[in-house]
Structure 1
Amino acid sequence: MVKLTTAYVEKKCSQTQASKSLTKELKKDHLRKITHLYMNDKFINTIGNFAACRNLRVVYLQNNCITKIENLHFATNITHLYLQHNNISKIENLNCLQNLTSLFLGYNNISVVEGLENAENLTELHVERQNISAGESLCFDPRSCHTIAMSLKILNITGNQMTTINELSNFQMLESLEANNNYIENIKDLTETIKSLPKLEQLSLQDNPVTKCYRYRENIIANTDLLACLDGKNISPISRRFMKKFQIERHLQATTTRSKMTLSDDITNSLNLPPAFKRSVTRAIFQHPGPKLSISVASASGELQPQMFPSWASVPTIRGFKDCHLTPRPLWKSSSRNKPRLTFSASNANIIELPPL
């Protein structure tokens, strides 16, 4: 394994110089003047002291075996740091890199995005495809989120077993978000988060369960103002205007429907009954006043007392009469309004036929 030091950097720079020029010796202040350091694919496992390279702007350390971010306190001018494809498990020791704008940490062992409390100028962050244990997912430290939320424009969180992205709801400057191959499935939670990203222009959610939801694409487009590309497909301004208009009309229609819903609808809907039963219950509870069936019943003193019954309980035809008692027809049987209505007087046990309504 290799340790990154000033001597190692000087050695590699000499080899590069020799391959490009006949002059094999480096100038005395060469290390101090270099701005780009290419140390990728060098089997480096430890970042040592290479403080002689004080003017570094871009550092390439990808495809190595680095386990810890360290010894970068001198490189205050670094703007781009490439550390993808290593064995890093924690984001740390970056407080001195206040000019850092792009950080690449994909394909490591990171489970928490942290240590970015001083990264006020960070505009691009890549933490895709982390080697995370089963049952866990990538999460964001609130302190780091508070700092980078007002500067970050590009974010890649692909393949991190995430079930939600609501931690990104305050990222006011975010323009591009890649969240492919996660476990996001709640369309309502997703649209609420997308709605809170006012500058989002590119969004990629491929290979998430939410993409199979009914009208997934329409819901996303209707809840954004500037989104120009969704899952690799461009969105025309006409499509966006149509989706927004459709969403508004659907909302108004739903509001109108709820306002017209009566008390009987609320009760019958809560019973979870078949439609035919709901109609019967509604008629039984909330029937409007109408013609009623009058039946005279003898009281204990022998006087006839009329009894009034609502129209929904009236029986168009009498199916049974036994021992001076009326046997009503069940309510759920079909009936015809054209059949004559009957009344019964208990005094003489005569059936009287009335004209139809």
Structure 2
Amino acid sequence: MNTKLGKVKLPPCRPKTAKNPNTVTHIYYDHKNLKKIPLIDLSTVCVIYLHNNEITQIENLKSSTVTSLYLQCNNIYEIKGLEDVPNVKKLYLGNNEISVLEGIDHLNDLEELHIEKQNLPMGTALCFDPRSIMCISKSLQVLNISGNGIESLSSLAPLRHLRSICASNNRLKDIEEVCELIKSWFYLREAWFLGNPFSKKHRYREDIIAASYCLDFLDDKAVSASTRNFIKCFENEKLKKSSRPSINLEEIVPSLPKNYPLPLKKAVSASLVQNKLHILGPLDTPVEKKSTISPNKPRLKKKSHHNRIIKEEMNHFPGSFSYEMRLPT
């Protein structure tokens, strides 16, 4: 290292090998074409990198210090062997062959679960074991289940502490079900739903934002607080209007003439109902106006519009004036 005093020789770094177990916190076994997890000392290891291999089973993992486990891009078809690493907080299992999310009943501190893009047969989807979902419901904050052919998220309802969910490129069609789930996820701040059938519908973003509480990002687009409040107010007003009871005129007035148009029969206001709709007759029947003049009181003659205008104009002329006509000489 160059300084003002010249070159200073730094002491050599202690290698992270088995000879110095007190310094071994990360183990790198990625891209090694491994078919099995080797049996090694994990007494001080916190992070294990085993991704991009050919591992088919999770085994030989016994440690209370491991907090992050990278097993993506392997050939794992079943989640087993995690009972002896109970303190794992980050688990990466993407790009494997797992068909059921299970075997994580002992991971009570799991915060991040990445199980995206499983290599499953055509037409099949990733399933969720209810017992496993309940066990991680109080700790899980980040969930990535994209690209797994999932048609429903109803089994994920217990995950009340989710802050980020990536469910893009699945087969989700029912946006109402998704919105109901988001209403129960009070801490959700990031969500990805692109690539699902309901994402092609008009105003799907507005529906999800209106159902959320503190969503900041939706499909990589920021959601400001003002935008969220405006959409919520708009949806609330729309809900109030839709909740008003509709009145069918035919049910109230059985003897209603048949020549009333259909929109009139379905959109009668409550005020008309209170004013005794039975007095209405057919549309072609003239309605007689009731006279407000007493028969004993003499009726005053209404001044014509023409006379009133002449009188108003004369008030603007001076009291005396003359008009002289001169003939040409």
TM-score bracket, normalised by the shorter chain, equals 0.7 to 0.9
Equivalent in the alignment of 1:65: 54
Task: For 1:203 and 1:191, locate their aligned partners in 2 and report how far apart those are by CA, in whole Å.
Answer: 12
**Residues 1:239 and 2:204 are matched in the alignment:** no
Give the equivalent residue in structure 2 for 1:193.
181
Q: Is the 8 A contact 2:110 2:140 kept in 1?
A: yes
Contact (CA 8 Å) 2:125, 2:150: kept in 1 or not? yes
C-alpha distance in 2 between matches for 1:54 and 1:159: 36
Unaligned runs of 5+ in 2: 1-11, 255-259, 268-272, 287-329
Confirm or deny: 8 A CA contact 2:247 2:266 kept in the other structure. Answer: no
Identity of aligned residues (%): 35
- 1:210 and 1:281, CA in 2 relative to 1: closer, same or farther beyond 3 A? closer
Cα drift, residue 161 of structure 1: 0.2
Distance 1:63 1:262, change over 3 A: same
Decide whether aligned partners of structure 1 residues 290 and 155 sit closer, same or farther in structure 2, where only a CA change above 3 A counts: closer
Structure 1 unaligned regions, length at least 5: 1-20, 269-274, 292-310, 313-334, 339-357
AA partner of residue 68 (structure 1): Q
Query: How far has the Cα of 1:336 moved from its partner?
Result: 5.1
1:49 equivalent among 36, 39, 49 = 39
AA paired with 2:54? C
Q: Are 1:32 and 1:53, in contact at CA under 8 Å, matched by a contact in 2? A: no
Alignment CA distance shift 1:279-1:238 (3 Å) = closer
Q: 1:22 to 1:230 in 2, by over 3 A?
A: closer
Q: What is the Cα deviation at residue 264 of structure 1?
A: 2.7
| Residue 35 of structure 1: aligned partner | 25
**Could you tell me how far apart the structure 2 residues matched to 1:202 and 1:281 are?**
43
CA distance in 2, matches of 1:80, 1:22: 24
In the TM superposition, residue 243 of structure 1 has moved relative to its aligned partner by 1.1
Q: Deviations over 1:273-303 (max 9, x none)?
A: xx95676999xxx995459xxxxxxxxxxxx
Offset at residue 244 of structure 1 (A): 1.0
Matched residue, 1:226: 214
Cα distance, 1:37 vs structure 2: 0.5
Give the structure 1 partner of residue 98 of structure 2.
110
Q: Which residue of 2 aligns with 1:300?
A: none
1:86 aligns with 2:82: no
The reply to whether residue 248 of structure 1 matches residue 240 of structure 2 is: no
Note closer, same or farther for the CA distance 1:278–1:76 as it changes in structure 2 (3 Å cut). Answer: same
Q: Is the 8 A contact 1:187 1:213 kept in 2?
A: no
Relative to the length of structure 2, the TM-score reads 0.73
Partner of 1:158: 146
Bigger strand share:
1
Q: How far is 1:135 from its partner? A: 2.1
Q: 2:242 is paired with a residue of what secondary structure?
A: helix
8 Å CA contact retained: 1:33, 1:53: no
Work out the CA distance in 2 between the residues paired with 1:288 and 1:78. 77
Question: Which whole-Å CA distance do the structure 1 matches of 2:21 and 2:111 have between them?
Answer: 28
Aligned residues of 2:104 and 2:132 also touching (Cα < 8 A): yes
**Distance change (3 Å), C-alpha of 1:265 and 1:158:** farther
**Map of 1:1-357 to 2, 5 A cutoff?**
29-31=19-21, 33-50=23-40, 52-72=41-61, 74-256=62-244, 258=245, 260-262=246-248, 264=250, 276=261, 288-290=277-279, 312=282, 337=285
Distance 1:115 1:263, change over 3 A: farther
Verify the 8 A CA contact 2:249 2:265 in the aligned structure 1.
no
TM-score (norm 1): 0.67
Q: Tell me how far apart the structure 2 counterparts of residues 266 and 81 of structure 1 sit (CA, whole Å).
A: 69
